[in-house]
Amino acid sequence: RVLPGLKRDSGAALAVVNGENAAGGAGITRDTAAELFAAGADVVTTGNHVWDKREALSLLAQDPRILRPLNYPDPCPGGGIALVSAGGVPVAVVNVMGRVFMPLVDDPFRSMDRALDEIGARASVVLVDVHAEATSEKMALGWYLDGRVTAIAGTHTHVATPDARILPGGTAYITDAGMTGPHDSVIGVRKEQVLERFLSQRPLPYETAENDVRLSGVLIDVDERTGRATAIERVEVPERAAETGR
């Protein structure tokens, strides 16, 4: 409901959406992926929940616009790099996952080195979704890739961080772009269930909350000639804005 208007009003040429929780809070399906693309997503990234729905195995193998972290071992279906066109400008979108407090995957730093070697001269604009738990690991990757990629947006922890900035080498950076979903919740889950789990320490099911839905993310301006970012801005748009037109 919000993304089409946001793309129109901002003049955005490309929308990258992390969809790993699109299917009721866990995983991605054909139907939820189709909804994201219909709303204006051009590339869908994921993370450690990408395999939560079994159909993701065939979905990722068949649709190169849906990425999984590139540093999962090679037998995993799908890939971690998408090459697309944004208004005639070639863009590489890369999905990589951290290792601190996360599933065991290959080294994200050296995996990014190999990814940039693979991209080479095919795209001067390179956007990276760093899906990681630890803010320190995301920041370290930011400094490691500064000047080598256009932008790095952190995902996974659901809470937007106030550190959007342009690093010295011209790379736009934010530790976490925030959660698109119900904010009357505990990171998207019904707060009553989460409170009960904390108070009782019993394993209880999680259900997605419903109220105060917002789109969270960043708008990034890019110099297409140099591949450097010129601006990054946090955006948070409530769902009701699409209903009222404001």
So which residues are the catalytic ones? 49
What DSSP designation does 211 have? S
Residue type, 235: V
Return d(Cα 118, Cα 37) in angstroms, integer.
26
Alpha carbons 28 and 54: distance in angstroms, whole number: 9
What is the distance between the alpha carbons of residues 179 and 225, in angstroms, rounded to a whole number? 31
Residue 97 pairs with which residues in a beta bridge?
131
Categorise residue 156: left if φ over 0, alpha if ψ from -120 to 50, beta otherwise.
left
**Cβ pair 54, 77 in contact under 8 A:** no
| Structure letter (DSSP) for residue 182 | E
